[in-house]
Amino acid sequence: MTTAATVLEVNDLEVRFRMKRKHLFEKPSHVHAVDGISFTVERGRTLGLVGESGSGKTTTGLAIARLVAANGGSVKIKGTEVLGLEGEALRSQRQHMQFVFQDPYSALNPRLRAGRIVREALDRLKVGTLAERSQRVTELFGQVGLSLEQERLFPHQFSGGQRQRLGIARALASHPDLLICDEPVSALDVAVQAQILNLLRRLQQEMGLTYLFISHDLGVVQHMCDEIAVMYAGQIVEQTDRISLFQNPLHPYTKGLLASVPSADPNRRRTKQIGIMGEPPSPVDPPPGCRFASRCPLAEEHCGTETPALRAVESGHRVACHLV
């Protein structure tokens, strides 16, 4: 249900990639990267998407930003459907949603100076006058902790953390409502990670930003997010607030993820944990029933034949599992 405070609403989003055929008469096949997921993000809040590699987290973010094509479903930014937009309508809508990429080393044009990189977004989206764009670039450099002199430098003259600050400044240039952060600190040193995360939190408080935060690092997600959705094999298997997820995980996959995080707590080491064994199912030919059934130590016979619905088992806590 969309409310005035809802910035992002995703319903039954599907993304499939067609596989290359080995010969002319081979039946077409597809990779089911994202398979019917739904969620909303309220203004000023952060939703985290977590899961192992290949679960569909990044593809979800790219589809929302219209950087890959969706095959079905709905994505609304502030009530406006974006999947059907083309041309100038899509360009105008991009002001409201921007992307912070994972690798700050490859996300910036090495031939442009830093100030031009940030200004380019304003020029392409035709935001403000020429004088206002120059002033906006200077303001953004100050907001992300870069100096005025650094506007004339090239990307190779920045450290990794500074490049990510530059990427954040570029994303903020058009005053977006939604910022999609795709593992924005995974390529950085631990000390620099903390600086960038604190910067993102400060900017959110000052500017009222809404984040879709994609990560495989549960420690980072716990620090950044208000609500967390756990993805497995292209589907959301559990979604709740941060405290409930870490204190009372309900899905066996979520329990296995949390058990894999190193801990110095002796009480936790004495507690029997659920492990995740085996390999995830093929995204080309997903199995019937629960997609985690083949790896789940608690699975029963009907888990392999009946697909569990993502249902509310407690207030604000949704789980896709027959056994919960």
Residue pair 261/284 in contact by the 8 Å Cβ criterion: no
Average pLDDT over every residue of 293-297: 89
> Is 104 a residue whose pLDDT tops 90?
no
Residue pair 202/121 in contact by the 8 Å Cβ criterion: no
- Residue 304 pLDDT: 87
Percent of the chain, pLDDT > 70? 94
- Residue 324 pLDDT: 83
- Residue 243 pLDDT: 94
Average pLDDT over every residue of 57-63: 95
- Residue 10 pLDDT: 97
- Residue 190 pLDDT: 87
- Residue 271 pLDDT: 52
Of 64, 74, 79, 75, which Cα lies nearest the Cα of 5? 79
Least confident interval from 76-85, 109-118, 253-262 = 253-262
Least confident interval from 85-89, 114-118, 176-180, 242-246 = 85-89
> Is 273 a residue whose pLDDT tops 90?
no
Least confident interval from 18-22, 31-35, 86-90, 226-230 = 18-22
| Residue 134 to residue 118: CA distance in whole angstroms | 10
- Residue 11 pLDDT: 96
Parse the chain into domains and list their residue ranges.
Answer: 249-324
Q: Phi/psi at 34 (nearest 5 deg)?
A: -130, 130
| Residue 240 to residue 314: CA distance in whole angstroms | 9
> Is 93 a residue whose pLDDT tops 70?
yes
Going by C-beta distance under 8 Å and a sequence separation of 6 or more, which residues neighbour residue 168? 100, 144, 184, 196, 199, 200, 203
Which one-letter amino acid corresponds to residue 113? R
| Residue 85 to residue 96: CA distance in whole angstroms | 14
Confidence of residue 25 (pLDDT cuts 50, 70, 90): confident
Q: Which residue has the tokens 């979604």?
A: 239
Structure tokens given for 89: 């309508």
Average pLDDT over every residue of 128-151: 91
Average pLDDT over every residue of 126-148: 90
Going by C-beta distance under 8 Å and a sequence separation of 6 or more, which residues neighbour residue 284? 19, 29, 30, 31, 32
- Residue 26 pLDDT: 76
- Residue 135 pLDDT: 92
Going by C-beta distance under 8 Å and a sequence separation of 6 or more, which residues neighbour residue 197? 185, 220, 223, 224
Confidence of residue 266 (pLDDT cuts 50, 70, 90): low
Least confident interval from 17-31, 191-205, 300-314 = 17-31
> Three-state SS for 222?
helix
Establish how many alpha carbons lie within 13 A of residue 8's alpha carbon, considering only the half-sphere containing its beta carbon: 28
Least confident interval from 85-94, 111-120, 234-243 = 85-94
Q: What is the pLDDT of residues 8-19, one digit of tens each?
A: 999 999 999 988
- Residue 272 pLDDT: 57
Compute the chain's Rg from CA coordinates. Answer: 21
- Residue 274 pLDDT: 66
Question: Cα–Cα distances in Å, from 153 out to 102, 105, 138, 159?
Answer: 21, 15, 14, 12
- Residue 143 pLDDT: 94
Confidence of residue 57 (pLDDT cuts 50, 70, 90): very high
| Residue 151 to residue 116: CA distance in whole angstroms | 8
